[in-house]
Structure formats: structure tokens, C-alpha cells
Structure 1
Amino acid sequence: MDPHLLRTFVAVATTGSFSAAAQELGYTQSAVSQQIAALESDLGSTLLHRRPVAPTDAGARLLEHAGPILLRLSAARADVARLSGQPAATVVLGVTPFAGAARVAEVLVPVQRSMPRVRFTLLVAGRDAVAAGVATGTLDVGLVDGVTAPSDPLPLPDAGQLSASVLAQSTAVAAFPAGHPLAGRRSLRLADLADATWIDAPDVATPLPQLRALAHSGGFRDGFRYPGTDTGGLLALVAAGAGLALLPGPVTHPGVVGVTVTQPRLVHRVELVHGSLTPPARALANALQS
């Protein structure tokens, strides 16, 4: 399967338009149509309905495979490029919202001062974006956080051969508004909250599909969508009663109370992730680990 054709298919399927995909990719519309036809011929299946433009059942299934495939291809290219031995003039560190940006700044500034000719950049993004950025080379080092079982890795996208090491671990808590009937509990079971309303904040809090998997339960309906990465904004929504969120403890925001989840046993973990490192990026990684 030609990856160029696959990228074109993803662009058409996600934009819902041949012309929009052509503009995004820098092709003519006829070139996009020819590439989709070539991919359909190769796979022996119609992948897109034309009017309106939407994936067929086969196209929807291919779309599920396409993201990980293209990510691994980009990761392979970046991994080889990192081994080329070219000197690095920049280091980009990606950090997820609850990975401890204040502590990162305390480490990052002295490292930058020790290498004044290297330009350091700090970027805050969601965990999938940080993991994918490290894999594809747009980020040199990443700090990702999330909630998981003590013996399980963090649930990150399959991004190739990335090294990961644990930097910090804390208790996971369910965040309630202060006036909530359960806010006075010392602990609770996650499954007992399946019927509650939650904030859908996949880049900051524990994503709702993961909550269902951890609790082995359905439910966990979303009452408010929050696609941002600002932790203060999320906690303000919890305090206002927009919904619950599974977060690292302790919670110190006014009007929000964190209750420890004891079943299943869960932890909030911060991990350092990276591929092959240039000398400046390795110095930063070593400083973060120490």
C-alpha cells in the first residue's frame, strides 16, 4: 500500500471534500481523485462515497488503521534522521498539562544557561500530541502524564521505539465540586461513579473511554466538552458543577475536592519519553531524570 495514497485518503475522509484535501496537500483536485481511484483499485474496494463524500464501511475500517500506520512511518523517518549525527541547534520539550510545568521550568532554565548556543522551546500539549511529536521528531523530549493501574504503562499511541522512564507517581482522585454529596467521602470505587456526569477533557483529564475500561463498566457520560489544555479552566468547570474528572491528587483548587479512588487501584504517573537523543536533548533528559 502506497503511503502517499493513504495520506491522500485520510485527507479526503477527514475533510469530507476532494477539493479541501487537494488544497491541504498542495495537489490538484484531479490528482486527488486519481490517487483515491488508484488506492481503491489496489485494495479492490470502494473506500469513499462520492455524494456526499464520506467513508464506506471499508473506508472507515481503513481509516482506523491509517493513523497508526502513518505515525509509525513518520516515526521511522524521524528515528533515522536523529541518527544522522547532525549537530542540533534547537531542543523542543513537550509537556502534558499535569506533568509539572513549574518543576520542568526549574530544570530547563539551568540547562539552557549551560548551552547558550542552543535554543530551547517548551510546548504544552495533550498526551497523544506529545507522544506523536516525540515519535515524529517535532519534539526532542516529552513528559507525559496520565492515570493507569500501578503495573500498567501509560496508554499512549503506538509510536514506535520510544524509551520511557517514570519520573513521578501520585494518587489518582475523582475531582468533585465542594458541595457534591460524595465530596466528603474518604475513598470510593470508580464503578460507583459510572452514572455521574463527567467532563470530556481528553488532553487534560482521564479520557472517558479509558474510564470505562478501568471501571469495567459502561456509563461515564459527558456533560461538558473541554478540548483545551489549561488545567485551571478544567478545575473551574469542576468547581462550577459541569461534571467530574479523574485527576492527580492532591487537588488544591478552590471549590474542588479530590476523593481517592481505591477500586481499582490507580496511580497518576509522569513519564519521560524520547527516541534517539542529540547531546543537548540528552543533557536535558538527564537533568529531568535527576
Structure 2
Amino acid sequence: MDSHLLRTLVTVARLGSFSAAALELGYTQSAVSQQIAALEAELGAPLLHRRPVAPTAAGERMLEHARLLLERMDAARADVRRSALPERPELLLAASPLALDAAVVRALGRARAAEPRLRIRVRVLDRRAVAAEVAAGRCALGVTDGYAAPGGPLALGDLGPVRQAGLGEEPCAVLCPPGHPLRHRPGVDLDRLADAHWLDAPGVAAPLDLLRAATGGGAFPATAGHEGHDPAGPLALAAAGHGLAVLPRTLAARAGAVALPVRAPRLAHRREVLFPPGLDAPARVFLDALPRGA
């Protein structure tokens, strides 16, 4: 059964006119009439009443089949064409929220410029989950952040062959509300604040366990908590006085509250890129476009 005849039948029935169908399909009216007649002869049944143009009972049944057949044929053509196209390159990046900055976005732009067909996907995850995704090969690269001694790498556990390289670091500050008694201090030592009220927000702020270890095991009691990776929540909670939080100094300064520089212990907010050996071309362009830091 010729698909052209089926398409002509469906078009005539939809428009209710041989002449209108001929105009839409680019045929003469005579050719349309001949195609309908040929299909009726093949099936051995009239499919259309002529005056006015409308499907017969047999035509209604045939139209149901014709529409389905044409849809399947169109889908088959599209599927074969897609399979014949070269595979579209993809760059899948894992990122923690505080590591996904303007420099990373610019590097993604460089990768897209080098390969215009590149499909970019960014998977925003917890800091440690970024490392796990790259180590498991589920993401091409990762950018993550965390808190460490200045110049020291992030403690991310066993990454196997995955390498980690610094993208930069900045000092930390304690975020506290505007009326806090220490608001006029030029800086603070964290061990002096071990008994203060603290906000437990390990997805954004320095984890309290890290502060305890860095100061020799002080209390750092959590009087409020925040689960998640969006920095807006911890910033708002700390600024409103629900607990102190150690954050990157530039982030803390944007909170509309008091950002007290941390003097001791020496602590920095660090960003790193994680990448395995044997990167493909888009991943290599992205990596090379990142501004490397300490």
C-alpha cells in the first residue's frame, strides 16, 4: 500500500475538498482524484463520498489505519535519520554550589566555543558527592569546595587515579548578626567562640566537626541547623542570630550582617577541580580554560 495514497486520503478527508487537498499537497486536482480512485480499487471499496466530500463507512475505518501507519512511518524516518547522525559530544560536570562560579561558567563557554554541538550538563551535588561521581566515572570532571589550612588540599578521601588541582582559595570569616557583642573586633580566634551558639550547615559553612578538630576539640554546640546546599538559607539564619557560621569572607560580607575575619586557626575556603586521566577533547578544553590557583 503506497504511503503517498494514504497521505492523499487523509488530506482530502481532513480538508473536505479534492481541490484544497491538491493545493496543499502540490498535485493537480485530477491527480488527487486518480490517487483516491487507485486506492479504492486496491481495497475494493469506496472510501469517499464525492458530493459532498466525506468518508464512507469503509473510509472511516481506513482513515484510522492510515493515520496510524503514516505516524509510524514518519517516526521510522526520523529515527533512522537520527541514528545516521554522528553522536553528539557531551560534557557532564559535577559541581558543589560554592564552586560553581563565574570562572567555571566561562570555562564551559570555552568548551562550547571549541565544539558548537557540545551538550553541557551540570550536576549540582554535595561536596563529597562531587568527588565520588568523578572517581566512579559518572561525570567527566568535578569542581568542588571545602575548608582547609591555607595552601593545603581538600581532604576528599581515596580518589584512585583522579587528580585534584587548586582553583583558588580565600580567607574565612565568622558571620554574626549586626548586634553581636564582637561586631567591632578586627578579627576573632575560633577557640574563644567554642561555647557560642553555632549554626550547623555543613553543606555551605565550615562543618562544626572541622572547627572542633582545628581548635583542639572545643564544644561548638549546634543550636540551629540547615540541611541543603543553597547558601541563601545559612546566610539568612546566621544574619538573623540563629547561630554563628564560618564562611568564605566574600560570601559572608554579602549577607548584610557582620563578617569577622578568622585569625586563628588559619583556615581558608578552597576550590578544586577533580579530573581523571585520559580526558576527551571537550573536557580537556574546559580544564585548560580554568584559572588555576593555589
Q: Which amino acid aligns with 1:109?
A: G
Q: Which amino acid aligns with 2:258?
A: V
C-alpha distance in 1, partners of 2:271/2:173?
A: 15
- Structure 1 CA distance, aligned partners of 2:253 and 2:261? 14
Aligned to 1:161, the other structure's residue is in SS state: coil
Cα shift readout 1:138-174 (whole Å, capped 9, x = no counterpart): 2211111112112432122323222111111111111
Deviation at 1:128, TM superposition (A): 0.6
Cα separation, 2, equivalents of 1:177 and 1:189? 17
**1:97 aligned onto 2:97:** yes
SS in 1 for 2:157: coil
Aligned-partner SS, 1:98: helix
Quick one: distance in 1 between partners of 2:184 and 2:193?
Answer: 15
Q: Which residue in 2 is equivalent to 1:126?
A: 126
- Which of 258, 264, 280 aligns to 1:278? It is 280
**Paired residues, number:** 204
**2:184 aligned partner, one-letter code:** G
Residue in 2 that maps onto 1:260: 261
Alignment of 1:208-287 (within 5 A): 208-250=208-250, 251-276=252-277, 277-287=279-289
Alpha-carbon distance between aligned partners in 2 of 1:97 and 1:140, rounded to the nearest angstrom: 17
SS in 2 for 1:166: strand
Contact 1:249 1:258 in 2 (8 A): yes
Quick check: 1:176–1:245 contact (8 Å CA) kept in 2? yes
Structure whose alpha-carbon radius of gyration is higher: 2
Name the aligned partner's letter for residue 275 of structure 1.
P
C-alpha separation in 2, matches of 1:154 and 1:88: 34
Gap regions ≥5 residues in structure 2: 1-86
Matched letter for residue 205 of structure 2: A
State percent identity of aligned pairs.
40
Task: Give the conservation status (yes or no) of the 8 Å contact 1:132–1:157.
Answer: no
Contact kept? 1:146, 1:206, Cα under 8 Å:
yes
SS of residue in 1 equivalent to 2:129: helix
Q: Deviations over 1:39-59 (max 9, x none)?
A: xxxxxxxxxxxxxxxxxxxxx
Partner of 2:180: 180
Cα offsets for 1:192-215 (capped at 9, x unmatched): 111112221122111111111111
Q: Give 1:100 shift.
A: 4.4
Change (3 A) 1:193 1:210: same
Deviation sequence 1:50-95 (CA, Å, 0-9, x none): xxxxxxxxxxxxxxxxxxxxxxxxxxxxxxxxxxxxx882211122
Q: Does 1:150 align with 2:158?
A: no
> 1:219, CA displacement in angstroms?
0.7
Partner of 1:138 in structure 2? 138
Question: For 2:110, what is the secondary structure of its paired residue?
Answer: helix
Letter matched to residue 264 of structure 1: P
Aligned to 1:165: 165
Instruction: Name the amino acid aligned to 2:166.
Output: V
Contact 2:148–2:270 under 8 Å retained in 1:
yes
- RMSD (Å) for aligned C-alpha atoms: 1.9
8 Å contact from structure 2 (residues 114, 282) kept in 1: no
Contact 1:162 1:273 in 2 (8 A): yes
TM-superposed deviation, 1:110: 3.4
Q: Write the distance in 2 (CA, Å) between the matches of 1:275 and 1:154.
A: 17
Distance change (3 Å), C-alpha of 1:173 and 1:88: farther
Aligned pairs (5 A) from 1:202-213: 202-213=202-213
Q: Is the 8 A contact 2:164 2:272 kept in 1?
A: yes
Q: Is the 8 A contact 2:214 2:265 kept in 1?
A: yes
Query: Aligned equivalents of 1:282 and 1:138: distance in 2?
Result: 17
* 2:97 alignment partner, SS class: coil
| Paired residue secondary structure (2:106) | helix
215-224 vs 108-117, greater mean Cα deviation: 108-117
Equivalent-residue separation in structure 1 for 2:249 and 2:160 (angstroms): 31
5+ residue gaps, structure 1:
1-86
The answer to whether the 8 A contact 1:198-1:242 is kept is yes
